[in-house]
Structure formats: C-alpha cells, structure tokens
Amino acid sequence: MPKHSAGILLYRFRGGNLEVLLVHPGGPFWAGKDRAAWSIPKGEYEEGEDPLEAAKRELAEETGIDLDSPLIDLGELRQPSRKIVRIWAASQDHDPSAISSNTFSLEWPPNSVKLLDIPEIDRAAWYPTAIAKIKLHKGQAGFISKLREMLGLPSEEGTE
C-alpha cells in the first residue's frame, strides 16, 4: 500500500504575478541542492487520519505558520516514489525569514555515531510559478498547474 502525504501550498499575488511559498529541506544531503530540491510544506499521515488536519499540522510544524485563510483543494498526485500526495492551497502572505521549523536527529557523517539536530526545513522563499516548477521536486510541480487552473489563470508556456 502506498504512503500518503498532505500539505498546504501558500500563494500570493505580487505585481499581478502569482507566487508560491516553497520550503527547502534541511540537512547535509540537501545543503548544495536547489533545482528540483524544494517542496510544498507537507508530511506523511497515517491511515484513518484526516488528511486536511495532517496538512495543517505539517504546515505548522515545518514553518511555524498558523493557517487563517480559506482553502482550495488541489487534489492528489502520485509521486515517482509511488507516494500519493494531497495538497490544499491558501492565499496567505508570510515572511519567509520568520519560518520556524521542527528538527530531527541525524547521524552525520554516516557511521560516525555523532547525532546532529537538523531543521526539517532550512529556509523558505516565494517564487513565481514558472520558477517554482523548476525548483520543486518533479512529482509536486503538477500542483502549480492545478493552482493556476483553479484560480482561472492561463497555463505557462514551456513549463508544462
């Protein structure tokens, strides 16, 4: 049975352009990666758990953001890993420098027996949707197209 994740994609308009808030994973593996390394704030949930409540929890844990906006259900996409991801979108601005992430323990370097506390995300940033599609993990980029469609915006040539 495939794993399931849920998350919330925040969006805003700046200068008439749609922007989305993406997060970059923390830790040494991701430190030098940018293209296809960013993510929508999301996390796994257990069978029987409400996906929307899991999405809200993950947004708060990964970013410290309290959601106070109506949601748009963008549906589900199957990732290359076979995981099924469900995303909601919300129009809500937030200062990316104010992000506050939870942490996890990681043995680093491998086999060193040294544990480091690593933030789940090390930074966040607003990106225009065409750039966001390049920065996002491949399996998540489709949510940008779904958001543009739900907002009645044209698709972006060359980024589909």
The 10s digit of each residue's pLDDT in 110-131 is: 899 999 899 999 999 999 999 9
Within 13 Å and on the Cβ side, how many CA atoms surround 52? Answer: 10
Query: What pLDDT, in 10s, does the model give residues 22-37?
Result: 999 998 889 999 999 9
Query: pLDDT tens digits for 130-141?
Result: 999 999 999 999
Q: pLDDT band at residue 158, thresholds of 50, 70 and 90?
A: low
CA distance 86 to 77: 7
Q: Within a 13 Å sphere around the CA of 57, how many CA atoms are in the beta-carbon half?
A: 12
Amino acid at 29: F
Whether 159 shows a pLDDT value over 70: the answer reads no
- Mean pLDDT value across the chain: 94
**In the chain, what are the helix, strand and coil shares in percent, each to the nearest 5?**
20, 40, 40
| Bridge-based pairing state of the strands 121-128 and 115-119 | unpaired
